[in-house]
């Protein structure tokens, strides 16, 4: 399987590429909407993983142009905008402030009704929350073997 990953956040893109390639998926990664649009026109892909907040051409436009060309490519949308999951993770950490929560515990608290969510989703949500919390006076710390904990800077 060959996918196009359109993600401008370098750290997240690197992590996603590694995770997908580890699963045996061939990844073409671009960090700009114009490059994503061009790649979709020039090469065949089995799926698209698309960040909506791309520079050059936003993800909405990339998707709109893809559909206008009648390319019936499955698309998974990523966005760093506010989401309930990012909130339900922050709330779980706040409720247990000072005490570590494992990925599994976070998964059970945030996605209790969804059996299809994997532990890697917690890593992505924590990554995004760390970026949002930067400079706020609090941070999420990883305690190796224990999980994540919310601490004051």
String of b and e for 61-88 (b: at least 16 CB within 10 Å)? bbbebbeeeeeebebeebebeeeebbee
pLDDT digits (tens, 9 = 90+) for 48-102: 999 888 999 999 899 999 999 998 898 888 765 446 678 778 888 888 777 899 9
- Take residue 19 and report the two structure tokens written for it: 């995770």
Please list the residues that pair with 29 across neighbouring strands. 5
The pLDDT of 101-129, averaged and rounded, is 83
**84-152: same fold as 2-78?**
no
What residue segments make up the domains of the chain, in order of their start?
2-78, 84-152
Cα–Cα distance, 27 to 8 (Å, whole number): 15
Cβ burial of 105 (10 Å; 0-12, 13-18, 19+) is: middle
Q: What is the CATH number of domain 2-78?
A: 3.40.50.2300
Entry pTM: 0.57
CATH number for the domain formed by residue range(s) 84-152: 1.10.10.10
Tell me, what's the pLDDT at 79?
64
List, for residues 17-37, the tens digit of each pLDDT value.
888 888 888 999 999 999 999
């Amino acid at each position: 399987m060959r996918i196009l990953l359109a993600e401008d956040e370098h750290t997240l893109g690197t992590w996603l590429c590694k995770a997908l390639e580890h699963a045996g998926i061939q990844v073409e990664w671009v960090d700009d909407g114009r490059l994503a649009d061009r790649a979709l026109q020039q090469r065949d892909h089995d799926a698209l993983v698309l960040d909506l907040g791309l520079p050059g051409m936003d993800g909405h436009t990339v998707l709109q142009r893809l559909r206008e060309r009648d390319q019936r490519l499955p698309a998974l949308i990523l966005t760093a905008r506010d989401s309930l999951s990012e909130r339900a993770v922050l709330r779980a950490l706040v409720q247990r402030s000072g005490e570590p929560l494992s990925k599994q515990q976070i998964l059970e608290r945030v996605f209790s009704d969804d059996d299809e969510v994997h532990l890697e989703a917690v890593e992505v949500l924590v990554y995004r929350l760390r970026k949002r919390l930067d400079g706020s006076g609090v941070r999420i710390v990883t305690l190796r073997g224990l999980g994540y904990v919310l601490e004051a800077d």
